């Protein structure tokens, strides 16, 4: 009987040895892909159970279903932990990084501004019915509301990066003023609306930066593919109007296998960044390399050479 037990123990030890090497390989991969702490962020018991059971792909599919539900119901804020989780599960899956960055820098950015028209209308009605004494009392509140509205227009025209430090500082001062007014005079719908307007741009800047951060994190996991360099460059170019950064990442994108439109975008970015000579060189390359862009490239080259400007 004892001999049988020793045999069983010996067999168990033999079976354990390959598990040791497998676990070491898993641990090494976790360190390489920076996956060691990701499990703490996983939402939902079902997904967590699937991960612990080794079914990462199935867990990711389950989370994508939740994303579809939240997306179609307009609950964009609930997407973020799910996107982070899928990115952790499948760091080389380009789509999750691209969709996540887009949601933050575009969709949530826009959603933050949605209540603005309602607040402006309420402030207008309230101010029109005020007595002269009330107008004097609420003068600084109305000024703060105007500052918030003007900041929204500025960001819409110039993007959430140009001159933003000074603008955020000004809005912080207005926010502090409104808090002090509320403390001194009590709750007020007018103050609430003014404060809502003042806080829109800081939130938009935050989500723009979060989108940038998420895309850069994706690039770190996929450094040898053009896709996320392009997504980041386009976000800088189109949303942020940060043309030096756009040029930097478009240039990185074209170093890898990429579609024709990436070279087109790089040419536009050079022009917007004031690099007219490089823009002309890039359009010449596009004209020579991509027959489908012949008409566009010829028009752009003509305008750059005769007017010094081609992109609206």
DSSP annotation string for 244-283: HHHHHHHHHHTTSS--HHHHHHHHHHHHHTT-HHHHHHHH
Domain assignment present for 158 = yes
Assign 297 a pLDDT band (cuts: 50, 70, 90).
very high
Range with the poorest average pLDDT among 4-18, 91-105, 227-241? 4-18
Query: What's the rounded Cα separation, in Å, for the pair 287 and 102?
Result: 30
Cβ neighbours, 10 Å, residue 286: 23
Q: Is residue 218 part of a domain?
A: no
Tell me what pLDDT residue 2 has.
52
Q: pLDDT digits over 128-184, tens only? A: 999 999 999 999 999 999 999 999 999 999 999 999 999 999 999 999 999 999 999
Question: Does residue 188 lie within any of the structural domains?
Answer: yes
pLDDT score at 74: 76
For the cut 80, the answer to whether the pLDDT of residue 104 exceeds it is yes
**Choice among 16-25, 236-245, 260-269 with the minimum mean pLDDT:** 16-25
If asked whether residues 202 and 117 sit together in one domain, one would say: yes
pLDDT score for 283 = 98
**What is the pLDDT at residue 210?**
95
Within-domain flag for 57: no
Helices 94-102 and 79-89 sit at what angle, rounded to 10 degrees? 160
Q: 145 in a domain, yes or no? A: yes
Mean pLDDT, residues 214-238 taken together: 98
Q: Would the pLDDT of 76 be above 50? A: yes
Q: Give domain status of residue 87, yes or no.
A: no
Per the model's pLDDT, the better-predicted residue between 11 and 235 turns out to be 235
Q: Are 182 and 227 found together in one domain?
A: no
Are 191 and 122 found together in one domain?
yes
Higher pLDDT, 37 or 289: 289
Q: Rounded distance, CA 241 to CA 105, Å? A: 13
Task: Return the pLDDT at 49.
Answer: 41
Domain count, the chain: 3
Please give the angle made by the CA atoms of 33, 236 and 92, to the nearest 5 degrees: 20
pLDDT digits (tens, 9 = 90+) for 34-65: 434 343 334 443 444 444 444 456 666 667 67
Q: What is the pLDDT of residue 303?
A: 97
Across 47-51, 98-102, 221-225, 249-253, least confident range: 47-51
Q: Which of 149, 172, 206 is the last residue of a domain?
A: 206
pLDDT of residue 61: 64
Q: In this structure, which long-range contacts are made by residues 80-87, counting pairs with CB atoms below 8 Å and at least 24 apart in sequence?
A: 80/104, 81/41, 81/43, 82/43, 83/214, 84/41, 85/38, 85/41, 85/42, 85/43, 85/47, 86/60, 87/214, 87/217, 87/218, 87/221
Task: Establish if 46 belongs to a structural domain.
Answer: no
The answer to whether residue 17 is domain-embedded is yes
Where in the sequence is the domain holding 21, given as residue range(s)?
2-33
Position 242 confidence tier, pLDDT thresholds 50, 70, 90: very high
Rounded to 5 degrees, what are φ and ψ at 156?
-65, -35
Q: Kindly state whether residues 147 and 184 are assigned to the same domain.
A: yes
* One domain, residues 183 and 127: yes
What pLDDT is stored for residue 68 in this prediction?
A: 74
251 lies in the same domain as 197: no
User: Across residues 83-93, what is the average pLDDT?
Assistant: 87
301 and 242 inside one domain = yes
Residue 205: half-sphere exposure toward Cβ, Cα within 13 Å: 21
């Amino acid at each position: 009987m004892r001999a049988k037990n020793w045999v069983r123990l010996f067999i168990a030890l033999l079976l354990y040895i390959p598990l040791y090497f497998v676990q070491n390989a898993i641990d090494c991969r976790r360190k390489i892909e920076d996956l060691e702490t990701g499990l703490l962020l996983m939402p939902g018991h079902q997904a967590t159970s699937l991960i612990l059971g080794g079914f990462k792909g199935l867990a990711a599919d389950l989370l994508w279903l939740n994303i579809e539900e939240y997306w179609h119901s307009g609950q964009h804020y609930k997407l973020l932990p799910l996107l982070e989780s899928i990115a952790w599960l499948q760091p080389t899956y380009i789509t999750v990084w691209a969709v996540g960055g887009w949601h933050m820098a575009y969709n949530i950015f826009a959603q933050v501004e949605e209540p603005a028209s309602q607040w402006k209308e309420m402030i207008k009605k309230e101010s029109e019915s005020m007595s002269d004494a009330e107008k004097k009392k609420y003068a600084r509140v109305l000024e703060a509301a105007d500052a918030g509205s003007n900041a929204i227009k500025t960001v819409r025209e110039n993007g959430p990066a140009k001159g933003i430090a000074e603008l955020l500082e000004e809005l912080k001062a207005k926010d502090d003023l409104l808090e002090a007014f509320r403390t001194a005079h009590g709750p007020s719908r007018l103050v609430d609306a003014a404060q809502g307007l003042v806080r829109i741009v800081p939130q938009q800047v935050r989500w723009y930066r979060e989108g940038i951060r998420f895309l850069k994190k994706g690039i770190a996991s996929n450094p040898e593919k053009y896709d996320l360099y392009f997504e980041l460059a386009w976000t800088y170019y189109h949303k942020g109007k940060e043309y030096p950064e756009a040029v930097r990442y478009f240039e990185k994108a074209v170093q890898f296998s990429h579609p024709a439109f990436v070279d087109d975008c790089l040419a536009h970015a050079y022009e917007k960044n004031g690099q007219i000579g490089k823009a002309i060189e890039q359009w010449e390359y596009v004209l020579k390399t991509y027959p489908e862009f012949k008409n566009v490239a010829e028009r752009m080259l003509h305008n750059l050479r005769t007017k010094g400007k081609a992109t609206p």
